[in-house]
Amino acid sequence: MHILVTGGVGFIGGHLAESFLLDGHDVTVLDNFEPFYAKGIKNHTLEIHRKVAANGESEYRFVEGDVREPETVREIVEDVDIVVHQAAQAGVRTSVENPRKVADINVDGTVNLLEASKEADVDRVILASSSSVYGKPNSLPYAEDHPTEPVSPYGVTKLTQEHMARVYTELHGLPTVCLRYFTVYGPRMRPNMAISNFVSRCLNGEPPVIYGDGTQTRDFTYVADVVDANRTLLKSDAADGDVLNIGSSDNISIQELAETVRDQLAPELEIMYESAREADAQHTHASVEKAGEVIGYEPSRTITEGVGEFIEWYQSNREWYEPLVQES
């Protein structure tokens, strides 16, 4: 199978492309190295892809290009079987500061992908959506039919992307699936996120900083589970035209998360608090019942197990990863 991974040297796309190569698929990555965080992390991922491809039978092609350019996208999509669309301007705060740019990448870029996929008659487009589409909770955990009322421009772009995908399925018969990821973490994760920040600061004897009072809760999803869901969908039409939550088995308050990391790495540190950040959701918690029923999805780790694994990974990769986390 030939798979296009957009945003394929980013955190999640990087793991997806690596796993598809290991499975023997041919992979094309389209990424513009958007300078949202240190480029070195993406270069590292690109090197991993090249090594994996060199050690196997799969073909790997990296294209430095932008999903906002319809011509580039059309040429690349022409001979692929499946599109796995991860390219986006992630980050709620960036979207508050620069909504125009976020809309251009997340909405216009997606339309380019869908249009090219329709023309090339690809087998399926799998799109990265987000728990941010829900906004304020009426009830938790969020099931997929919970009302969607995003509280950030980022959430609005992800919801628009979902509707656009559904309409392409309904109007043109293009199979699409949207996966609503709930805060994803793991090796090579984005630096500007709670888990990477807490680990980096505690290892350096600096107190973890919580924005807000720490009562906000999050579902943290291990990246391997996101990869599993996408791998299943390469070969399954069970979720075509639909949306699925991809989350973990439990959720945790930011206070508890900071304590878990602090207690493992530097129990003597006092947690610090700064004012809450604008447009951050207060609570996220996924119901993964539907994903379980439709594609057999099952989260593999508790947050404590996953954070433990991430800390181990961080310590073994500290030399190259930490300076890049601190630079971002």
Ligand X SMILES: NC(=O)c1ccc[n+]([C@@H]2O[C@H](COP(=O)([O-])OP(=O)(O)OC[C@H]3O[C@@H](n4cnc5c(N)ncnc54)[C@H](O)[C@@H]3O)[C@@H](O)[C@H]2O)c1
Binding track over 126-165 against ligand X, x by CB under 6 A: --x-x-----------------------------------
Phi, psi (degrees; rounded to nearest 5) at 292: -65, -45
Count CA within 13 A, CB hemisphere, residue 127. Answer: 34
For position 172 contacting ligand X by CB under 6 A, the verdict is no
Tell me: does residue 36 bind ligand X (CB under 6 A): yes
Q: Is 154 a catalytic residue?
A: yes
Binding ligand X (rule: CB under 6 A), the pick from 87, 122, 133, 252 is 87
Given the rule CB under 6 A, which of 63-71, 143-151, 210-218, 312-320 is the region that contacts ligand X?
A: 63-71
**Of residues 33 and 320, the one with the C-beta less far from ligand X:** 33
| Distance separating alpha carbons of residues 100 and 301, to the nearest angstrom | 37
Nearer to ligand X, 29 or 173 (CB): 29
Cis peptide, bond prior to residue 141, ω within 30 of zero: yes
Which is catalytic among the residues 154, 168, 314, 321?
Answer: 154
Residues 183-222 that bind ligand X (CB under 6 A): 183-184, 190
Q: With contacts defined by CB under 6 A, how many residues of the chain interact with ligand X?
A: 30
Residue whose CB is nearest to ligand X in the complex, by number: 10
- For ligand X, the closer of residues 142 and 181 by Cβ is 181
Among the listed ranges 3-11, 115-123, 167-175, 269-277, the one in contact with ligand X (CB under 6 A) is 3-11
CB atoms within 10 A of CB 274: 9
Q: How far is the CB of 201 from ligand X (least distance, A)?
A: 19
- Residues interacting with ligand X, by CB under 6 A? 6-7, 9-13, 30-34, 36, 42, 66-68, 86-90, 105, 109, 128, 130, 181, 183-184, 190
Q: Which active-site residues does the annotation give?
A: 154
